[in-house]
Amino acid sequence: MAGKKKATQKWKYYEVKGDKVERKKKFCPRCGPGIFMAEHKDRWSCGRCGYTEWKRK
């Protein structure tokens, strides 16, 4: 099974409120708009460039 990737479900990253569309996840500040960051328990991380932002308590 090496080499098989799970398809991303990008429709889960957006929410429609009224006539507006809101993003649920953050964009990576290095890669720019369109590249979402993964949310972990204690940090946000970009899977493309490796940028990490730590969450504050």
The verdict on whether residue 49 carries a ligand-binding annotation is yes
Contacts of 9 (CB under 8 A, 6+ apart): none
Q: Name the residue with tokens 């204690």.
A: 42
The verdict on whether residue 46 carries a ligand-binding annotation is yes
C-alpha R_g of the chain: 13
The verdict on whether residue 28 carries a ligand-binding annotation is yes
Binding site feature residues for Zn(2+): 28, 31, 46, 49
Binding site feature residues: 28, 31, 46, 49
